[in-house]
């Protein structure tokens, strides 16, 4: 099911007939349900620091934002030493176990195969680049992507808009013929700030209200719907 967001009919037609050459994809909450691995690694880090950890189902908000931003909120501090210690503990578990605790969303493989025959596909994530590569490799998705753009060990660049800009420039893409797909407001803002067609997905960890408020051009309920929008 495709939901168009209060757009004039003439504008909808322009969008639906827009020609694309490339698509930028978010990872967590868009291609995979990554909460178990993220939440359990967060819990491990907090418990190792002697901090009571929230339940897994209470950590859905951690899917999407940069890791240091999450620990700043979880620890209730801006102390860089404490935050970096938590990040190191998180990565210790995530890089051994957590990345395998993803679940690929239904229809994702078919969507990527369909889009990969037509467009250049890139991954843009505030996740550590090495972690993103591990996830893609573990679930046999890496070969479908021309490039993977994430953060370094210092968490830079931490802004999704900047990551999208870097990916576009590095691969010589045209903003007017590039789309971005993601489940959180950061993905939509990254798209709009770079002049991209922004597709929100409702099956991830951001609400429809969140995606609409950020300015999503369309919101899709499934991976199949994403493929339909981009191939229409």
pLDDT at residue 28 in the model: 96
pLDDT at residue 15 in the model: 53
pLDDT at residue 9 in the model: 42
Per-residue pLDDT of 196-207, as tens digits, reads 999 999 999 999
Mean pLDDT of the chain: 92
pLDDT at residue 183 in the model: 97
At 132, phi and psi to the nearest 5? -60, -40
Provide the annotated active-site residues. 26
Question: What CATH architecture does domain 2-33+102-231 belong to?
Answer: 3-Layer(aba) Sandwich (3.40)
- Predicted model pTM: 0.90
Cα separation of 132 and 231, whole Å?
A: 26
Q: Which residues of the chain have pLDDT under 50?
A: 1-14
| Closest-CA residue to 214 (of 179, 181, 190, 230) | 190
Number of Cβ atoms within 10 Å of the Cβ of 69: 15
Q: Where are the domains of the chain?
A: 2-33+102-231, 35-100
Fold of 35-100: DNA polymerase; domain 1 (1.10.150)
% of the chain exceeding 70 in pLDDT: 93
The DSSP bridge pattern shows strands 218-220 and 103-104 to be unpaired
């Amino acid at each position: 099911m495709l939901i168009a967001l209060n757009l004039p009919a003439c504008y909808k037609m322009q969008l639906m007939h827009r020609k694309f050459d490339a698509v930028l994809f978010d990872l967590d909450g868009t291609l995979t349900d990554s909460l178990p691995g993220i939440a359990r690694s967060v819990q491990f880090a907090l418990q190792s620091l002697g901090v009571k950890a929230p339940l897994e189902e209470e950590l859905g908000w951690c899917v999407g934002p940069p890791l240091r931003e999450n620990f700043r909120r979880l620890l209730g501090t801006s102390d860089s030493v404490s935050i970096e210690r938590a990040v190191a503990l998180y990565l210790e578990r995530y890089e051994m176990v957590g990345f395998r605790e993803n679940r690929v969303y239904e229809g994702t493989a078919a969507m990527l195969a369909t889009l990969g025959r037509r467009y250049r596909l890139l991954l843009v994530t505030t996740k550590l680049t090495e972690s993103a590569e591990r996830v893609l490799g573990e679930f046999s998705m890496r070969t479908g992507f021309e490039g993977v753009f994430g953060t370094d060990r210092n968490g830079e660049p931490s802004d999704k808009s900047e990551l999208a800009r870097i990916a576009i420039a590095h691969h010589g893409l045209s903003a007017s013929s590039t789309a971005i797909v993601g489940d959180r407001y950061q993905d939509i803002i990254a798209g709009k700030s770079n002049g991209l067609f922004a597709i929100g997905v409702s099956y991830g960890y951001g609400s429809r209200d969140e995606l609409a408020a950020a300015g999503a051009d369309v919101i899709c309920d499934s991976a199949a719907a994403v493929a339909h929008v981009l191939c229409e």
